Structure 1
Amino acid sequence: MKNIIIILISLFFQTLAAQDSLSTLLRLPAASTLQQSSLAHYKLDSLYIHNQVDSIITNGIKNQSFPGAQVLVSKNGNIIFHKTYGHHTYDSVQPVQVDDLYDLASVTKILGPLPAIMKLVDDGKLNLDQPFSNYWKPWKRRKDKRHITLREILAHQAGLQPYIVFLNTTLKNNGKFKKRFLRNSPKIKFQNKAYDHIYVRNNFNRKMYRMINRSKVSEEKIYTYSGLAFLLFPELIEQLTDKSFNDYLQTEFYGPLGMHTFGFLPKNKNFSNNIVPTEIDTLYRHTLTKGWVHDENASLLGGISGNAGLFGTADDLAIIMQLFLQKGIYAGKRYISENTVNEFIKVQYLENGNRRGLGFDKPYLNNEDYTLQNAYPAPEVDQGSFGHSGFTGTFVWADPEHELIYIFLSNRVYPTRENRNIYDLNIRPAVQQVFYKAFDNVLQRTP
């Protein structure tokens, strides 16, 4: 009897040791959700971090890189820094708040169509290495597109054109609306709302698809960033799921994850959150763009698109980035398989000098060898890290090796997109670097 008890006790401690080893290996427990914590919890120098971040962002505001911004950083699923700066506009009327909604611009690409595509890959409805024309039938008739794979498209290795300005199709030379495409009030055939008092023809998306289908493809297959296929993805996802793109994302991801204010068309919802304005548009809205997507192509699709259109808070962004960081699990529920997440976040065409993952942006190759001024993002990030930037001044990044999430939100396009000081002053990587250096300092102090 005594021997049996000893054996049982031994097995018990072996099990505990195995669980501890597994927990260490996975870094984060499967049931983890984002929690509030502090810099002090990780023995970080709070004064150093606040002084450094405050200095960088205050200098950015002073140089009119943006009127306001906010930064969120989490470590091991614990939010250790979330701070706001400045105002919505330079008149200093509305201070930035932690629950403000931002136009995420191209960050939409990795938080809208990408999780849907990942799930469809898991479900066997999409294959990364089959021709995209198997799913998007018009490309079967295009000699230069029929063999392009979904993997090539997502890694920006397909040779597609970077961009098509569809707005040019809708405007006359004098800037007035072509009435067969745009109207100032809703009609039976004009139900898609692009902005207050701007309505797009219901089937204008078909014209956009045709122009994409007919667009030229480069014979040289090198890395060229292109958002064109992301305009097609919502339609494709609807065909494969029998649900609207918006509904599919809400039911499969945003709702279950608890991202309560995340999604498209925030002005149509009764949120108490303030929405940060973007640009004073001189192209076709001729007013301050606020509450509707800034990107013209997305606006012509009624504000729901795969290239832009999502709005969200920093907290919402942290949730879905934590899902990716935890390899497809959040709060004990698996949304995407670990194998699929691993495939999407890794560099795809290293031999071509292409740093990109599938949909996700990645650090420059040999990024650690660059100075802050020449690196992307901060040189200290791990090569396994991933994220995306947005034209409006947004940026999200996850680093599995360091278990760090970094979110930077701003409206750098206010009052005009011509303002490039956020890039010239290297603000987003500089703020990111502060936290890596702070953790390095902790390691150096540890005996």
Structure 2
Amino acid sequence: MRNYLFILFGLFYVVGSAQVERTTPLLLPVGSSLQESSLKAYALDSAFVYRNIDSIITNGIKNNAFPGAQVLVAKEGNIIFHHAYGFHTYDSIQPVALNDIYDLASVTKILGPLPAIMKLVDEGKLDLDEPFSTYWKPWKRHKDKRNITLREILAHQAGLAPYIVFLSKTLKNNGRFKNRFLRTKANRNFSNRAFDDIYVKNRFNRKMYRIINRSEVAADKKYKYSGLSFLIFPELIAQLTGMPYEQYLEEQFYKPLGMKTFGFLPSTKNFSNNIVPTEIDTLYRHTLTQGWVHDENASLLGGISGNAGLFGTAQDLAIIMQMYVQGGLFNGKQYLSKNTVQEFTSVQYPANDNRRGLGFDKPYLKNDQFTLANAYPAPEVSATSFGHSGFTGTFVWADPEHQLVYIFLSNRVFPTRENRNIYDLNIRPAIQQIFYSAFDRSKQHDH
């Protein structure tokens, strides 16, 4: 049974830093696993929380870390905090609303290909410790890739190249399109839409796969983040399930979970929600990117990829992260086995100084011994916690031990990706830390 979140988003949102306490909780359908609650319900000092988050976000906006942002926190499946701040752009015209849709960038990796891969592992169609070339046949022909396992790939322990700029293959030296790869009008060979008026050759994905298949692999096996395999995963998932990747995700996860806006290519879907703009692109779109994926590699795959391309609201993100926190269970339905979720969210190669789970990011090893400035994310998160960040300024984190889900959404790449103050000011972990501090303070009061 589908359990959609019937929330009248438009009734409330917060503009700038002005905070509005909700007087009546918004009720979800009975039996839904995400309920509206409040800081007060958990005896948290709301003045402390609001004051500190206001201060961090106001400082972020003032220092051009982002024009606006929103924060959602759920405890034990209850949304105790969800507020929006600032505007879509620095002209302060369109305030951020709670049902805005964001380009999630690399957060796509753990919410697109990963649930599908976990399900295929559950079904015995993928084995983490078999050579990946068992499933992705071209790698059998490459000696340096033949024996790499899926476990090594997902834990970024395979020595794969971090990134390949495929855009350079599609542009001439003067920046104009190579006509054999990019066109401004669609036809039957160019039906993959990358932007309002940019169409990619349908078979360009095969060129990308060939380049990845031939890419160099480092001789020494150590932690090195690589997004390349995530460009291959959608094709592999389609082969193993007999269904297009995006359709498989929609039918197996997003729809039954009740995620209303989650998915690829939101510009084609007539949502009433606003889509937050990302960058004023000077590389190949030469205009504001909004409603089309920001990441160039995902764009050249027609916006449907495993490395980026997903869009959604904070509420949608909270649902799927809650499903992970509950070991694959949501609303009485077991989407993934508990063992598989635990395996994927566990550190794989600690002896190699690699903090990563399978696809999931994890806290630094010995994170609780660091100060906020040196930790990742906040030092208070448990060692069982996991999540991922996105290049556009997004961040999701789940902590099963504390039963906490933390979501931070922004468009820090507006107007340019050169804006790095979100990192320099350490905004996302600092906000996360406030909630752990608030729970600590309430415990102390109890004693």
- Bucket of the pairwise TM-score, normalised by the shorter protein: over 0.9
Distance 1:427 1:312 in 2: 21
Given that residues 278 and 392 in structure 1 are in contact (C-alpha distance below 8 angstroms), is that contact kept between their aligned partners in structure 2? Answer: yes
* Structure 1 letter corresponding to 2:244: S
Distance 1:187 1:211 in 2: 25
Given that residues 110 and 359 in structure 1 are in contact (C-alpha distance below 8 angstroms), is that contact kept between their aligned partners in structure 2? Answer: yes
Equivalence for 1:427: 427
Instruction: Give per-residue Cα distances to partners, 1:360-379, cap 9 Å, x unaligned.
Output: 00000011111111110000
Distance 2:105 2:365 in 1: 25
Within 5 Å, give how 1:90-105 maps onto structure 2: 90-105=90-105
Cα deviation, residue 260, structure 1: 1.1
Equivalence for 1:292: 292
- Displaced runs of 4 or more, over 3 A: none
Cα deviation, residue 196, structure 1: 1.1
* Structure 2 letter corresponding to 1:144: D
Equivalence for 1:280: 280
Distance 1:319 1:124 in 2: 26
Instruction: Give per-residue Cα distances to partners, 1:332-362, cap 9 Å, x unaligned.
Output: 0000000100100000001101000000000
Equivalence for 2:10: none
Equivalence for 2:5: none
Instruction: Give per-residue Cα distances to partners, 1:23-48, cap 9 Å, x unaligned.
Output: xxxxxxxx760000000000000000
Give 3-state SS (helix, strand or coil) of 1:402's partner.
coil
Distance 2:228 2:239 in 1: 18
Give 3-state SS (helix, strand or coil) of 1:434's partner.
helix
Residue 122 in structure 1 maps to residue 83 in structure 2? no
Distance 2:188 2:406 in 1: 45
Equivalence for 2:392: 392
Equivalence for 2:339: 339
Distance 1:32 1:223 in 2: 39
Give 3-state SS (helix, strand or coil) of 1:159's partner.
coil
Distance 2:128 2:308 in 1: 23
Give 3-state SS (helix, strand or coil) of 2:434's partner.
helix
Equivalence for 2:322: 322
Cα deviation, residue 188, structure 1: 2.1
Equivalence for 1:155: 155
Distance 2:41 2:389 in 1: 29
Distance 1:82 1:260 in 2: 17
* Structure 2 letter corresponding to 1:49: V
The count of corresponding residues between Structure 1 and Structure 2 is 417
Distance 1:269 1:46 in 2: 38
Residue 49 in structure 1 maps to residue 58 in structure 2? no
Cα deviation, residue 187, structure 1: 1.9
Equivalence for 2:183: 183
Residue 170 in structure 1 maps to residue 170 in structure 2? yes
Q: CA RMSD in A?
A: 0.6
Give 3-state SS (helix, strand or coil) of 1:359's partner.
coil
* Structure 2 letter corresponding to 1:342: Q
Give 3-state SS (helix, strand or coil) of 2:158's partner.
coil
Distance 1:339 1:196 in 2: 43
Equivalence for 2:238: 238
Equivalence for 2:16: none
Distance 1:418 1:158 in 2: 30
* Structure 1 letter corresponding to 2:104: L
Distance 1:232 1:144 in 2: 17
Distance 1:189 1:256 in 2: 34
Given that residues 32 and 332 in structure 1 are in contact (C-alpha distance below 8 angstroms), is that contact kept between their aligned partners in structure 2? Answer: no
Distance 2:186 2:314 in 1: 34
Structure 2, unpaired ranges of 5+: 1-30
What is the percentage of aligned positions where both structures have the same residue?
74
TM normalised by structure 1 equals 0.93
Instruction: Give per-residue Cα distances to partners, 1:222-255, cap 9 Å, x unaligned.
Output: 0000000000000000000000001000000000
Given that residues 114 and 359 in structure 1 are in contact (C-alpha distance below 8 angstroms), is that contact kept between their aligned partners in structure 2? Answer: yes
If each structure's helix is expressed as a fraction of its own residues, which one has the higher value?
1
* Structure 2 letter corresponding to 1:277: P
* Structure 1 letter corresponding to 2:324: F
Residue 354 in structure 1 maps to residue 354 in structure 2? yes
Given that residues 109 and 230 in structure 1 are in contact (C-alpha distance below 8 angstroms), is that contact kept between their aligned partners in structure 2? Answer: yes
* Structure 1 letter corresponding to 2:323: L
Equivalence for 1:12: none
Give 3-state SS (helix, strand or coil) of 2:317's partner.
helix
* Structure 1 letter corresponding to 2:300: L
Distance 2:444 2:157 in 1: 41
Distance 1:195 1:405 in 2: 33
* Structure 2 letter corresponding to 1:390: G
Equivalence for 1:135: 135
Distance 2:329 2:247 in 1: 21
Distance 1:386 1:322 in 2: 12
Distance 2:202 2:404 in 1: 43
Equivalence for 1:406: 406
Given that residues 130 and 150 in structure 1 are in contact (C-alpha distance below 8 angstroms), is that contact kept between their aligned partners in structure 2? Answer: yes
Given that residues 32 and 77 in structure 1 are in contact (C-alpha distance below 8 angstroms), is that contact kept between their aligned partners in structure 2? Answer: no
Give 3-state SS (helix, strand or coil) of 2:100's partner.
coil
Give 3-state SS (helix, strand or coil) of 1:209's partner.
helix
Given that residues 325 and 403 in structure 1 are in contact (C-alpha distance below 8 angstroms), is that contact kept between their aligned partners in structure 2? Answer: yes
Given that residues 392 and 412 in structure 1 are in contact (C-alpha distance below 8 angstroms), is that contact kept between their aligned partners in structure 2? Answer: yes
Equivalence for 2:11: none
Structure 1, unpaired ranges of 5+: 1-30
Equivalence for 1:86: 86
* Structure 2 letter corresponding to 1:250: E
Given that residues 61 and 68 in structure 1 are in contact (C-alpha distance below 8 angstroms), is that contact kept between their aligned partners in structure 2? Answer: yes
Give 3-state SS (helix, strand or coil) of 1:72's partner.
strand
Given that residues 106 and 308 in structure 1 are in contact (C-alpha distance below 8 angstroms), is that contact kept between their aligned partners in structure 2? Answer: yes
Which protein shows a greater Rg?
1
Equivalence for 2:415: 415
Instruction: Give per-residue Cα distances to partners, 1:201-240, cap 9 Å, x unaligned.
Output: 0100000000000000000100000000000000000000
Give 3-state SS (helix, strand or coil) of 1:50's partner.
helix
Instruction: Give per-residue Cα distances to partners, 1:90-146, cap 9 Å, x unaligned.
Output: 000100000000000000000000000000000000000000000000000000000
Equivalence for 2:21: none
Instruction: Give per-residue Cα distances to partners, 1:180-205, cap 9 Å, x unaligned.
Output: 10011112211111101111001000
